[in-house]
Amino acid sequence: MIGIGVIGYGYWGPNLVRNFMQVPEANVVAVSDMRPDRLAVIHRQYPSIITTANCREVIHHPQVDAVVIATPVTTHYELAEMALRAGKHVLVEKPLTATSVQGLSLIEESLRRNRVLMVDHTFVYTGAVRKSQELVANNGLGDIYYYDSVRVNLGLFQHDVNVIWDLAVHDLAIMDYVLPLRPQAVSATGMSHIPGKPENIAYLTLFFDGNLIAHIHVNWLAPVKIRRTLIGGSQRMVVYDDLEPSEKVKIYDKGITVSNGPETLYRMLIDYRTGDMWAPQLDITEALKVEAQHFVQCIETGRQPITAGEAGLRVVRILEAASLSMAERGQLVEINPGRLAA
Ligand SMILES: NC(=O)c1ccc[n+]([C@@H]2O[C@H](COP(=O)([O-])OP(=O)(O)OC[C@H]3O[C@@H](n4cnc5c(N)ncnc54)[C@H](O)[C@@H]3O)[C@@H](O)[C@H]2O)c1
């Protein structure tokens, strides 16, 4: 039985506690939050869980084997480092850390102590994203030409991070899992419409080796909610709409074929190919449940998590490069591949 301690019981923490409570091989031992009102809520919901305002009590509790961190981004590094040093396995909320130096340091600490370090890239554990990854990995789309994602709504304005560190992190995490290639450079633009607050709208263009291109559009100030990703390949194209109640993933057997015209070698002919569209069956288990189970299994077996610290670091490196680019109004910034970026 793996004892779980959770730090942070604000908006997201309750989802983590609820899902870890459903994992038969796990037991949520203790939860910490600095706010007494949040501790009162957890005490009402789960009277058997120990509650404390002092996160150190969770980290050092002898029955806690693994610490789950659901606090604001700026606190991730300090808390995760403290937990690893106490010999605990760690699951950190996205994004892994506020800087890549911190991310690298956590990975090194987890390797030194032989502990699991995992980041909550939640969407990677959805049936829709796992199916998209399977399609790409099995060459079901042909050569990948583009990845195009929109994630907008009238969202919660975060105070400590801008919209790319809050929302684009989801798209970058999905892209990191689904695409076989890593982006080389990024150009980002964004704007704040509230004085003194971080950017609430942003556009990221990511360049890869070859002719693959990606674009991510995120916005906290949109009147409608859109969560749509297109992945275009030479053979087929995928539309993943997370707001569809069923049929979230649709595969279009559409594309173009390019050939030379008969009369002259210099005249290209572009033919449009329109075939069937189908929606594959998806696993509808809640992503966080799949993820909580995966974290516990990795601890038990020593297996490397799908969203290990390295995946978190790759995403943080892109976020850092995008932040630099945004400060320079879209100037192209190379993404540090890093020695742990494989
Ligand atoms: N995976 C997802 O889809 C998803 C969704 C939302 C938020 N998140 C992530 O979850 C994290 C938390 O976000 P949130 O929206 O729940 O924030 P929140 O502000 O609602 O909650 C954070 C809680 O942490 C507590 N806290 C902060 N420092 C603490 C400490 N040292 N000890 C004990 N408690 C402490 C605060 O009192 C607060 O209640 C962020 O990293 C965010 O990016 C992830």
pTM > 0.85 = yes
| Percent of the chain residues topping a pLDDT of 70 | 97
The residue written with tokens 């195009």 in the block is: 148
Pick the residue whose CA is nearest to atom 27 on ligand 1: 71
pLDDT greater than 50 at residue 185: yes
From residue 93, give the alpha-carbon distance in Å to each of 3, 12, 143, 279, 313. Answer: 18, 9, 33, 31, 13
Could you tell me the distance, in angstroms and rounded to a whole number, from the CA of residue 6 to the centre of ligand 1?
A: 11
- For the chain, how big is the Rg over CA atoms in Å? 22
Indicate if the pLDDT at residue 342 is higher than 50: no
Determine the distance separating the centroid of ligand 1 and the alpha carbon of 329, expressed in angstroms: 30
Neighbours of 222 (CB within 10 A): 17
Confidence of residue 262 (pLDDT cuts 50, 70, 90): low
Alpha helices in the chain (DSSP H): 13-21, 36-45, 55-59, 73-85, 100-113, 127-137, 163, 169-178, 287-301, 309-327
Q: Is 272 in the pocket of ligand 1 (CB under 6 A)?
A: no
* Nearest ligand 1 atom, CA 122: 1
User: Among 57, 74, 93, 291, which is best to mutate for testing ligand 1, by the most ligand atoms less than 8 A from CB?
Assistant: 93
Grade residue 254 by pLDDT with cuts at 50, 70 and 90. confident
Q: Please write the tens of the pLDDT for every residue from 62-77.
A: 999 999 999 999 999 9
The CB of 10 under 6 Å from ligand 1? The reply is yes
Cα of 99 to ligand 1 centre, how many Å? Answer: 17
Is residue 233 within 8 A of residue 143, CB to CB? The reply is yes
